[in-house]
Amino acid sequence: MNIEKNRMNVTVVKGTKNVQTTIDSDMNVPDTKPDIEKIIASRQEATIQNVEAMIDKLKVEGRILVSILYSTFGEKPELASFSQTIPFDEIIHMDGVLPMDTVKVSGVMEDSAISVINSRKLGVKGILTLSISASDVDMMEGCTAIEDDHVQQLHKRLHLSTMVVNKKDSARVKEEIMLPNQKPNIGKILWYDVQMNHPEIKVQDGQIPIRGEMQLFLLYETAEEQTPVQCMEWEFPFHVDVQCSECREGMIENIGVSIGSRQVDAKPDEDGEERVLVAEIGLDLDLKIYDDLNVDFLWDAYIPTGNLKLDTKEFEYERLMMKNSGKTRVSKRIRPGDGQPGAMQLCHVDGTVKVDDSEIVENGILVEGVVAVNVIYISSQDNNPLQSTSALIPFSYTVETAPLTPEDHYDVQVSLDQLSGSMLDAEEMECKGTINVTVLTFEKERTTMITGAEEEAFDMEEFEKMPGIVGYYVREGDTLWNIAKQYHTTVESMKQMNDLAGDEIIPGDRLIIVKDCDISYTE
């Protein structure tokens, strides 16, 4: 008896968890940098460097890159900047995690505050939130057919989703930008920021094209006394192709794209003047790509004049129910902090979005969070014109989905787009932006698969004692297959004997059943 089998990998999410840990560290101003009087702007970026899965726990190692823009002491304060890293190492308990599981961790700094301890030392405090997802890849193995004319076979089609790709990756964008003619040469780059707008992602055969726009802000020092500090903003398109041999067009992607490393340097133009910017921007990619499969498996089998033992095993798998996206606008009016001067010109607005909570509601997934924005502006204060202020903008948005049960799970991706600011008057500014929310929902299912079959001894004496013809009234829940199996005949024989064109029977129907042993049947 030759048995055909189908084997495939199925990914089941074992669990997700958010863990918060406190960051409390000191930073010394580098010896090459002047003393610090006031912080103008700061940026904290968490990077995960290593994740080690153990039994019921994880070891997560990473670092936080802290960048500072500040003003110095003196009648005419100058601007300076520097960056330093703060390492972290956490042991996280997570029930059910095993060393062979696929574990992905991302980190975000929240509620961070940088204070001036003295002119050469800073205090960095904040909360590092680690988002963890653990999944298990199981081998689903089931029989698809038995090559034996005597074996009656019933097949069932399973609709399941398999995760083809689940990994971290990176891409790099490089762009050269020429300063406008009316702007003075670059003496020293003081600060820069990069934001991404309108990312578009589409899975193709063997690759993942990513398109969008980058917005680059530059604050630099010049050699001119009248305009010692200049700022500029540019937008430029980008296009990168991420190679992925497992990808095929039509697969369903759930890809998170964020800006990772960034480096902006100045270089001479053809005349030897520092007027060309070279921007190298790293994209951190969280790749999750799914394929929907319809697979025929052997669901039941028997031999009319024999005894067939079936080996079975229960498997758990997930089915992708739907993917849906939406956008919500956020806005807030912001005033400079207490004791800060009013604004004459708005220079730059940057921000990050984070999800505080998400839950299943009646008509979908409710996602709640905040956008943390920072505004750099020029004030009326002559001796220290560059100022900054920050604010939190809350948001709440419901993405429509099919009804979900507590056993089902979902994946949420959010990104911030089109963040901008405008001055309403000297004491008030308005920040606006768009939040993109994408949700994938998965239904968790279980099934019993036939993994093997073996013919055993059959009591022919008992079989021969059974009546050759039986009259049978159909009861609730009966199928031709179950009746044929019970009375040691075949579905085809029953259909011929009762002049049935199809497989449908209803309670109360009267059937004539004749013992025989015809060939196989597939539903």
- Look at the chain and report how many structural domains it folds into: 4
Residues contacting residue 74 through CB under 8 Å, at least 6 positions apart: none
At 522 the pLDDT is 42
Same domain, 113 and 225: no
Residues 391 and 418 in one domain: yes
Token match 């530059």: residue?
A: 218
pLDDT at residue number 523 = 44
- Phi-psi category of residue 250: left, alpha or beta, with phi > 0 → left and psi -120 to 50 → alpha: left
Q: How many residues in total does the chain contain?
A: 523
**Alpha helices (runs of H) in 95-223, residue ranges in sequence order:** none
Instruction: Please check whether residues 214 and 338 belong to one and the same domain.
Output: no
229-243/207-221 β-pairing = antiparallel
Confirm whether 311 is domain-assigned: no
Same domain, 448 and 466: no
Would you tell me how many other CB atoms lie within 10 Å of the CB of residue 70? 26
Burial of 437 (0-12, 13-18, 19+ CB in 10 A): buried
| Host domain of residue 47 | 12-138
3-state secondary structure of 339: coil
- Give the CATH number, domain containing residue 476: 3.10.350.10
Pick the last residue of a domain from 138, 161, 186: 138
Spatial distance between the Cα atoms of 483 and 499, rounded to a whole number of angstroms: 16
Q: Cα 362 to the chain's mean position, in Å? A: 23
Which pLDDT does position 226 carry in this prediction?
Answer: 77
Q: How far apart (Å, rounded) are the C-alpha atoms in residues 133 and 104?
A: 5
487 and 502 part of one domain: yes
289 in the same domain as 158: yes
Question: In this structure, what token pair is assigned to residue 24?
Answer: 């409390």
- Contact (CB, 8 A) for 330 and 349: no
Are 250 and 327 in the same domain?
no
Q: How far apart are CA 370 and CA 328, in angstroms?
A: 12
Residues 368 and 266 placed together within one structural domain of the fold: no
Residue 5 lies in a domain: no
In a domain, 83, yes or no: yes
For residues 413 and 416, give the distance between their C-alpha atoms in angstroms, rounded to a whole number.
Answer: 11
**Which token pair is 289?**
């790509």
For 383-434, write each residue's pLDDT tens digit.
788 889 999 999 999 999 988 888 888 999 999 999 999 999 988 999 999 9
pLDDT tens sequence across 423-459: 999 889 999 999 999 999 988 888 999 999 998 887 7
Q: Please indicate, yes or no, if residue 435 is contained in any of the structural domains.
A: yes
Q: Is there a single domain that holds both residue 368 and residue 283? A: no
Residue 385 belongs to a domain? yes
User: Same domain for 258 and 333?
Assistant: no
Note whether residue 19 is domain-resident: yes
Measure the CA–CA gap between 498 and 491, rounded to whole angstroms.
11
CA pair distance 306, 460, nearest whole angstrom:
8
**Residue 313 forms part of a structural domain:** no
Give bridge partners of residue 437 from the DSSP assignment. Answer: 326, 414
404 and 520: one domain? no
* Residue 399: closest CA among 383, 388, 387, 410: 410
**One domain for residues 153 and 186:** yes
Q: What are phi and psi of 480, to 5 degrees?
A: -55, -40
Report helix, strand or coil for 41: strand
Out of 453, 488, 505, a domain closes at 453
- pLDDT for the residue numbered 318: 84
If phi over 0 gives left and psi between -120 and 50 gives alpha, with beta otherwise, what is residue 3?
A: beta
d(CA 309, CA 355): 52
Q: Which residue, of 434, 453, 472, is where some domain finishes?
A: 453
**Quick one: pLDDT at residue 52?**
95
pTM: 0.83
Residue 41 within a domain: yes
Residues of the chain with pLDDT under 70: 516-523
